[in-house]
Structure formats: C-alpha cells, structure tokens
Structure 1
Amino acid sequence: MNQQPMINVDELTLEEIDKQIHLLNEYKQKLVAQEKTEDTPSQKYECVKNGNRKVVVIGGKGQLGRLFVRLFRDSDYPVETLEKDDWPHASQLLANAALVIVAVPIHLTDSIISQLKGLADDCILADITSIKQKPLSAMLDVHGGPVVGLHPMFGPDVEDFCDQTIVVCHGREEEQYEWLLRQLLIWRVRIHRVTAAEHDQTMAIVQVLRHFSTVAYGVHLAKENGTLSDILAMSSPIYRLELAMVGRLFAQNPDLYTEIIFANQDNVDMMQRFIDRFGELLTLIKLDDKAAFKKAFLQTREWFGEYADRFLTESGQMLAAAHHSIRDSR
C-alpha cells in the first residue's frame, strides 16, 4: 500500500488538523482491515456450486465485500471483483456469472443495480445493503432471474462468518438461489428469513434509532465539553462500556452512519417519537412525579419479560470480560 505524504502540522489550522486526523483514522482502518484479511489463515470450505462459473462481487475491494471474496475463494469459486474503474469492462466481468453480489455504499446501490441488465437468466443477483425494500425492488426490475436480498448483521472486523447472522429477504426463484444459502450454512452463518418490509421496520429500531441516539449522545457530550479522562476515571464498568460504544462509532467513517440514518425518510417519524418519549419522562421529573416515573419503568420491565433477566446475565458476563480486557491492556 502506498505511503501517505508527510504533513507539516505547523502550517495547518485547527480545522485542517481535525480533517487530517479523520483522514488518517480512515486510512488506519483500511490498513487494519487489509492486514487482518491477509493475515487470516486460509480455511478451505466445501463448494456447493460445482463448475467453472464465477462469482462477481461489485465493491469486492471494500471492507465487507473483501470478506465475501475471501470466503468464496476459500470455497474454490472463481471470483472477480468489479470496482468503479472497471465499468468499461463490466460486460466482460459479468459474462456468464453464476452470482453477482452488490457490495457498495447505500447511496450508490440503486444506480449500480440499474446498470446490471443482461445477466444470465439463471444468475443470482444479490445485495448486502443494510436496507432491503428499495434495492430488492431495483434488482427485481433490472433482472428477470433469481434475486435475493442479504444483510450481514456484522461489520468488516470479523475474521469469518462463523455464528454470524445474515438476514435473507426473498426476491424471486428461491429454488435457483438455494445453493447460495447452502454455501452460507457451510460457512456456519445463522440465516434469519424475513420480508424486506419486516427487515426495514426492524432495522429502524435496531440500527437507525440506535445510531441516531448514539450520535446524539456523542454530540451532547462534545457540546457539554467535559474532560473525557475525568469521566472515565469516575465511570462504573457499565458506563465505560457504553462510552466505548459511543466512541467506537465516532472513530469510524461518518459517511456510513450518515447514509444509514438518512437512508429512509419514513424513519423520521419514529425518531421524532423517540425524542417525544424523552420529553414525556423529563416532564415527570420536572413535576417530581416519582410514582408515574416508576410506573413507566415497571411497564417497560413487563414488556421485556423474561428477556430482562437474560440480558442482566449476559451484560454481566460482557462487563466481566470487558473489565479483564481493560485491566490487561494497562
């Protein structure tokens, strides 16, 4: 990988320094992801789809696309990647493909899919975008063959797919893409099947609302301008873990989280309801209405049901592991 040019910090403004720090963090993440992929020992898997027809991953040099490329190659599939500079030769790369996976940023997905006309009739067209209804509809419009939507519920920092969940949303001709699902199972993926509408509705809570609230909390901390070292020194283990999750998000690419949060304007109403709940609880505090606050607490506990105790146990185990990891790193 090319060396980054030297920067004369003395000539930069504070804003320019912040920008350079962000760019260097992005560069570091790419290096780490590449080294992790290159250093991971190759494990051979059974190949479900015998023959010499290839798999094409559009965006296969990206962080998540790279993982799919490696696993298909480890399963003895011929694999090609199609990147932004390869489109003049796209027809040759896509010719006679058994599977084409779209692994590009959300805001590029629809435009990329629209260029995929002329695939073989039995070629599987799939995407790994974090929203499902729009890309699935776009794939069904452009390709008359088998179509399936996939959403890996993990990031590029995993070493393999073992015990990781991939959400599967049916598009067309399941019997034709069934071999792909069997390949995922050989990689020990946990498959969770839902409709595209169900997926996007759930992701509004699991992903969009979570990221939105994390960004809001981080922005609030920055505006309050507390001293992080003091906050950490006086943090309980659970708060340190929560703070680590907030800091982890801000160490990553802002484009990714911006695209996820802004991807579906239908989620704005849900985010507004979330903010309204803050207002409702704040009103109880202003009124010193502890009884009503406690009632809301107990009603929510009832909604969690047996999961509350399960999550208490799981979080205790996570906290213990995190505590040992932090202690050992000091």
Structure 2
Amino acid sequence: MTEHDLRSLRAQLADLDSQIIHLAAQRRALSIEIGKIKQTMERPSRDFAQESAVLKRANQVGSSLGLSSKFTEELILHLIRSSLTVQERDRVATRQLGAESRALIIGGSGRMGTWFAHFLESAGFDIVIADPNTPPDGLPHITDWRDIPLDMELIIVAAPIRTSAKILSDLALRKPSGCVVDISSVKTPLKPGFDALRAAGVAVASIHPMFGPDVALLSGRHVMVIDLGSSEATDLVCTLFEPTMAKLVPVELDEHDRLMAQVLGLSHALNIAFFTALKQGGQDATNLSRLSSSTFDAQLGIAAGVSAENPHLYFEIQALNAYGPSAIQALNDAVAKIRECIESQDETTFVEIMAAGHSYLQALQSQP
C-alpha cells in the first residue's frame, strides 16, 4: 500500500459520506410529506408499530451486511427522531393555534423562556419578552413588563422561582385579561401568588416542562399540568401542546412538589455529592479518565451534565421545596446504611440492599 492508495481510499470514504448525508436529506424531505398526510388524515405523528417494522427491516438488511444490530438500531432511531422532530415542528406551525394572539414571556431571556418564545412564535403568537437581560436571536424585547398594558391573551412566567413568586403576586394587582401560566420547577413558594391571582379573577394554570431548553423533539417528554381552578387557562395549555408528542400529566399542586423532591431534588443531590466526593478524593482527573469503567463513565456523564447547569436554579430546587429535606435525609440514611454494611463486613445485608433495589428498579422501568 502506498500514500496514493491511502488518499484514494479516503477519497472514496468522503464520497460515501456525501452520499449518506444526501440520502439522509432525502429521507427528511419524505418525512415532511408523510407528516403532512398524517395531519390531513388526523393521525398522530408517532406510529410505534411502523417504527418497529422499520427497525426490523433495517436489522435484517444490516445483519446481511455484517453490521451489528446495536449499530443499525442506533442509526435508524437517530433518523427516526430527526424525522419526528421535523414533523412535530411542522404540525405546530401548521396549526397556528396562536394566530392573531399575543403572548408575553416574563423572564424570556433565560434558556427555558427562550424555548417558550420560539415555541409560541412557531404556533403563531406575536410574542414579546420582558426581561432586564437582552434575549438571544433578536426576539422582541422590553426591559420591564410593568411598563406595558397587560392585554395579551397569554402570559408565561419563566423567571427564577423566588422571582416568579413575586411576579405572580404583582400580576394579581394588575388583573391581566389573559391567561397566566408559570413554568417553575418548584410550586410551594408560588402558592400565595396563585391565590392572589384567583382572588383577582385571573385565569391561571401552572405547568412544569420535564425537559431542558436543548430539547427539540417532545416525543417521550412530559409536561406536568396543574389545574388551579381555571378551565380556560388549563385548556389553553393543553391545546398548545396538543400538536406535539409531549405527554401531559395532570397532577395536584401539593403532589407536584412531593414528586419533585424525588425526581429532581434527590437526583440532583446525588450527582452533586458524587462529583464533590470525587474531587475531594484527591485523585488526578487524568488518571481517573484513563482507568474508568463503564459504570463510572455513565455516572460521570450524568454528573458532568448536572455540574454544567444553573447552580442558582439548582439551589432553589433544593432549598424552596418543602418536601426536599426528607429526600436528602433518605439519601443520607442510604449512604449510612451502606457504610455500616462495609464497616461491619455485613455482606448479607449488602446483598439484600442490592437485590431490593434491583427489584424496585425493574418494576419502575416496566411502567408504561
């Protein structure tokens, strides 16, 4: 083999890469047309039976060509998700549920506020962001929501949790004519604001999008919906997400924070404790990365994501949830139990702990 042979083979690879990209673009274009037909026929964007058939067909072709089923499935699932993202965006844009309506996003320069700004804009709303900070992407912007009339059809409160609590109470004094919806991760501090809005006759609902601002496809994602007594506001929220593939989960106000103490508070605390203990262990990061295991790598990836999040928001999630301390105490008790087993050389109890956890997690993962 010569240098010329190497260059020739690389040129062939480059040509194949180009063909793959062009084929992916063609597939994307076809998915848009399929999505439009589904809308006309009033069918949902996602068809799990069809996806299963696509995966089975792809695996048969891949197997005949010597490709592993894991590689084939990952490739096809990535293409499917890309197609679904396009179909979902097109469905939201086509429905134009916000046509001739206006929306104000208070705190809209934050990452989730910006997500909602783009989402509502694609649904046909004329939007304006109220935030001391300038939003990205040149979105319409004012510094203070108190400087404008509150006669828009929808107001989204997307500020930090403590700030949102005050904003809701202040909004009640202005009695906006449209619906008010917050997106906070913790609801306990917002209760006085909810009560004030209801007493003022304002249509109010509360939601918690269980996804971050980088999410493009809402399939498999959940939006928790809290009915605060206004069918107008609750119905509006449900209608907005109806063209998407997000799953709307109704939940009571108090139950929300109990759940979030586990889902957010516990998982965040666990990962913060992990990378804190790792740092305090004194091992050089380079050595750890060279000697890592699959379990360590997986945990490190999750912890790295947590460490990159907004620490002020994460503190509020821990500190403002009235049910948070019980979750932290449960974590502390679990670590103490493991330590007790190790120090006393109690293998039986240690094995029982792992077996019980395995059974619990199997049952949890089997839920639809």
**Alignment TM-score, normalising by the size of structure 2:** 0.66
* Bigger Rg, structure 1 or 2: 2
Q: Are 1:132 and 1:169, in contact at CA under 8 Å, matched by a contact in 2?
A: no
Unaligned runs of 5+ in 1: 1-39, 312-330
Matched, 1:69 2:117: yes
Change (3 A) 1:264 1:288: same
Report whether the alignment pairs 1:190 with 2:244. no
Report the Cα distance in structure 1 between the residues aligned to 2:234 and 2:330, rounded to whole angstroms. 39
Separation of aligned partners in 1, 2:154 and 2:348? 59
Show the counterpart of 1:47.
96
What count of residue pairs does the alignment treat as equivalent?
268
Q: Is it true that 1:90 corresponds to 2:142 in the alignment?
A: no
1:202 paired with 2:251, answer no
Contact kept in structure 1, 2:257 and 2:323, CA below 8 Å = no
Query: Which whole-Å CA distance do the structure 2 matches of 1:305 and 1:245 have between them?
Result: 20
Q: In the alignment, what sits opposite 1:110?
A: 165
Greater relative contact order, per chain length (Cα 8 Å cut-off, separation 6+): 1
Aligned to 1:282: 339
Instruction: Summarize the Cα distance change of 1:89–1:286 in structure 2 as closer, same or farther, 3 Å threshold.
Output: closer
Percent of pairs identical after alignment? 22
CA distance in 2 between counterparts of 1:128 and 1:247 reads 25
Q: 1:125 aligns with which of 160, 163, 180?
A: 180
Matches within 5 A, 1:215-230: 215-230=272-287
Within a 5 Å distance, the mapping from 1:175-324 to structure 2 comes to 175-307=232-364
Q: Is the 8 A contact 1:145 1:172 kept in 2?
A: no
User: What whole-Å deviation, never above 9, does each CA across 1:168-199 have from its counterpart, x for those lacking one?
Assistant: 11112224531331111113321111111111
Deviations 1:110-130 (A, max 9, x none): 112122122344x21110000
Q: CA deviation at 1:68?
A: 0.9
Instruction: Give the structure 2 partner of residue 168 of structure 1.
Output: 225
1:140–1:172 contact (8 Å) kept in structure 2: no
SS at the partner of 2:227?
strand
Q: Deviations over 1:133-186 (max 9, x none)?
A: 332441231342221111111111123544421111111222453133111111
Determine which of 196, 202, 207 is the counterpart of 1:141. 196
Is the CA contact 2:102–2:125 (under 8 Å) kept in the aligned structure 1? yes
Give the equivalent residue in structure 2 for 1:26. none
- Give the corresponding residue for 1:58: 106
User: Is the deviation greater in 131-140 or in 56-65?
Assistant: 131-140
Deviates further, 293-302 or 233-242 = 293-302
1:154·1:165 contact (CA, 8 Å) conserved in 2? yes
Distance 1:82 1:106, change over 3 A: same
Paired AA for residue 209 in structure 1 = L
**What TM-score, normalized to structure 1?**
0.74
